[in-house]
Amino acid sequence: MIYFSVVLPAFNTPPDILRRAINSVLNQTYPYFELIIVDDGSEPSLDTIVKEYTDERIIYIRHKENKGAGAAHNTGIKAAKYEWIAFICHDDEWLNNKLEICKEVIEKEKKYKIFFHKVNEINDKKIFKNITYYTGNYYKNYLFDINRNIQTSAIIVNRECFSEVGLYDETGVLIDWDLYLRMSKRYDFYCINNELSNYYYSPLGITHENTIMKNPDAGNDVFKLYIKWKKEIRKYKLAKKNWSMRFNAMAYFYTQNHQFQLAWKLYKEAFLLNPFWYGNYIDIFKFLFISRKLR
């Protein structure tokens, strides 16, 4: 029998949104799981919402203060008592047959330790990304910054993997990206080709740039991720090129928002990564002109 530990980190989640996430887990057709809700220092506490439920599978843990997304995920992992650990973001929603389908695949594909599935991406309407996911190794995809992101609410991990590669980083790096890089150095990922959860684009994401969580350890700092993986990135020409273009685009955004110091740091790193790309020269020249004009 396979049992799942489901980790749901939440911070200042509106009641209806949190209920949507909780209900989507409790309504699973496969009932063998525990649901660990980690309240990351919400004000007011989320316990009044959780107390609406009498399901004995729910475990509620509250941080006295906001510690950030990495710490919230890790609290749930440490509290988990089952072999397979799944995650659901507080503003996402599982389809009711998710665990049933995942359980069948896990039983069949015994050599894999990390599974994920496709998602429905929802804004004002359903959007299905035209991305081809595959079963295999994702290390270079994440190192090269290729846009093939696995959503947190879609991944299921055997707890053995955390023993091997460690838990989520709590220093503020882009936590999912960092974890998947570490895991993909050791493990292949198995793709379940079913859409089994709804991913909602909203400012409620625990690591969203506009979230009311301003904790510096929140887990959304791309530059911290780059610094951590810089030596690996610099081994590959394509990785350096892609990261240079990413930093160039980020620097342009910060320039437009008059955050000149941050923009300059990103432009410099973009240039060092790819000094022979003419786009860097053009954009740095534009930056110097604009920044002097607007200062």
Asked if pLDDT for residue 209 goes beyond 60, the answer is no
- 6-59 per-position pLDDT tens digit: 999 999 999 999 999 999 999 999 999 999 999 999 999 999 999 999 999 999
Instruction: Classify burial at 44, counting beta carbons within 10 Å of its beta carbon; exposed 0-12, middle 13-18, buried 19 or more.
Output: exposed
- 114-136 per-position pLDDT tens digit: 999 999 988 776 666 657 789 99
Which pLDDT score, from 0 to 100, does residue 125 have?
65
